[in-house]
Amino acid sequence: MPHQRFVRVNGIDLHITEQGSGPLVVLLHGFPETSYSWRRQIPAIAAAGYRVVAPDQRGYSGSGRPEGIDQYSIFHLVGDVVGLIRELGEQQAVVVGHDWGSMVAWQTALMRPDVVRGVVGISVPPLPRGSRPPLTLTRERFGEGFYQNYFQQPGVADAELNKDIAATLRLTYAGVRKAEPDPGFLGGIAEPETLPSWLTADDLAVFVDQFTASGFTGGLNWYRNLDRNWELTAAWQDAPITPPSLYISGEEDGVRSFYPMDDAARAIVPNLRGVVDVPGAGHWTQQERPEVVTEALLDFLR
């Protein structure tokens, strides 16, 4: 059975879920999720002979939530992964991420290939560093209302998402896009008639409890470092991500429309072992189609 504990890393406590023994596999969640998003993968990967550890990353659930926005830069996030691997007594791990966790996984493999045996990104592919700040590009392409730009002003999206946490998560995970959106992040999403089959009322309640404890500001602060991260990573311009890699994406994931796995993305992962398109899956890939994602991960690990 998975068990939970805290690990001290880089001056904060990370709450982790772990199970199994063998080569280390680290699972990194996205926004707005927690380690609970890997509930289907953890027992299956552990049963296959691996030590699986899924942290609640900084700013989330029971983990440390530094106040300063600058405490959520890509250097902090990668540092947490490297520090976690070391605190677990290991020298290397296969690092798997979904959504924002995918971005952290790719960056960890880029900056510390000595620590990463293999890297898997789910939903978000490897992103080449562009010639201009990312928020400038999204503003020009999608407008100021694009969610990543909307998230920038401290307190604004925080208040919207924290107002009714159950509604925020229900709409984010299961809502339907409106043809004529209202302002804000949630204004473009209509209430679902029912929860999808992959998300039970009990599952939703777990997420609600976790975000009631933490709020959304920690996760939003990751977005508030997008341009800072671009500045900080200038030294890795055009650098390849060399560890063995895998990319998994739901065929109906809207992220594919603005972060495609195109020739530019493939060019920076010379050791790409495969691309897995998951039929019938949207953005919450490992929750929506756990059996497909788990099997793809096990194939890669083997």
Output the pLDDT for position 181: 85
pLDDT in tens for each of the 302 residues of the chain? 999 999 999 999 999 999 999 999 999 999 999 999 999 999 999 999 999 999 999 999 999 999 999 999 999 999 999 999 999 999 999 999 999 999 999 999 999 999 999 999 999 999 999 999 999 999 999 999 999 999 999 999 999 999 999 999 999 999 998 888 888 999 999 999 999 999 999 999 999 999 999 999 999 999 999 999 999 999 999 999 999 999 999 999 999 999 999 999 999 999 999 999 999 999 999 999 999 999 999 999 99
Specify the 3-state DSSP secondary structure of 272. Answer: strand
Q: Catalogue the active-site residues.
A: 99, 283
User: Do residues 13 and 64 make contact, with C-beta atoms less than 8 angstroms apart?
Assistant: yes
d(CA 26, CA 7): 14
pTM above 0.85, yes or no: yes
Output the pLDDT for position 152: 98
Domain 3-301 has CATH 1.10.10.10: no
- DSSP of 222-269, one letter per residue? HHTTHHHHHHHTGGGTT----S-EEEEEETT-GGGGTS---HHHHHT-
Q: Domain boundaries in the chain? A: 3-301
Output the pLDDT for position 225: 98
